[in-house]
């Protein structure tokens, strides 16, 4: 496997993050909800980064990027909706299509798990995955997440909810 590293998102990442998102837009939109078209511009991505870093400052988000050996962004990973009272957060990640199958989603998720335990002292992580996203379901399973049974009144039709107790 090539050399990859996970690091915290920075304001200086705007140009590189935009390139990553534009390059993979169709790929991502085949697996998750589409972003607003205004996101796909330098001001849109800069605002997005500012929002995420503001969330980090108040303890609600923890955004990361994954880089290859050439320091090119090839993935993202986030702890989101961090709730210290409940001891929980949601996880999310997206990996460049060109490097899928190299263990990066697992690397990203394992990093999120370590951050959730260590820095945030959380006791539970939650992930939502569309039913047709078999790759993400395998990664969640590999990292110890357990599929919860959906309720009859579940509003997230077509999505699975996975939970990991830390």
pLDDT in tens, 66-89: 999 999 999 999 999 999 999 999
Domain that holds residue 114: 5-123
Would you give the DSSP letter of residue 8? E
Question: Is residue 90 a part of any domain in this protein?
Answer: yes
- Structure-block tokens of residue 108: 């990203």
pLDDT at 61 over 60: yes
Distance CA 163, CA 28 (A): 22
Q: Provide the pLDDT for residue 59.
A: 96
What pLDDT, on the 0 to 100 scale, is given for residue 62?
A: 97
On whether residue 134 sits in a domain, the answer given is no
Q: Are 129 and 162 in contact (CB under 8 A)?
A: yes
Residue 19 within any structural domain of the chain = yes
* Residue 158 forms part of a structural domain: no
Grade residue 158 by pLDDT with cuts at 50, 70 and 90.
confident
User: Considering the domain boundaries, does residue 148 fall inside one?
Assistant: no
Number of domains in the chain: 1
Residue 149 domain flag = no
- pTM (2 decimals)? 0.89
Assign residue 81 the CATH number of its domain: 3.40.630.30
Q: Is residue 12 part of a domain?
A: yes
In what order do the strands lie in the sheet containing 62-67?
5-8, 62-67, 73-83, 88-95, 124-130, 159-165, 146-147
Residue 147 domain flag: no
């Amino acid at each position: 496997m090539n050399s990859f590293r996970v690091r915290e998102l920075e304001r200086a990442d705007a140009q590189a993050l935009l390139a990553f998102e534009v390059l993979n837009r169709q790929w991502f939109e085949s697996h998750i909800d589409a972003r607003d078209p205004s996101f796909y511009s330098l001001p849109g991505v800069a605002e997005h980064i500012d929002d995420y870093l503001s969330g980090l400052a108040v303890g609600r988000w923890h955004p990361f990027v994954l880089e290859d050996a050439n320091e090119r962004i090839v993935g993202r990973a986030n702890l989101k909706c961090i709730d210290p009272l409940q001891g929980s957060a949601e996880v999310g990640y997206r990996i460049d299509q060109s490097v899928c199958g190299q263990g990066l989603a697992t690397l990203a998720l394992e990093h999120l798990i370590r951050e959730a335990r260590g820095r945030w002292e959380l006791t539970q992580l939650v992930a939502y995955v569309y039913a047709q996203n078999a790759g993400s379901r395998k990664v969640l399973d590999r990292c110890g997440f357990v599929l919860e049974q959906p309720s009859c009144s579940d509003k997230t039709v077509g999505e699975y909810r996975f939970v990991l107790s830390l």
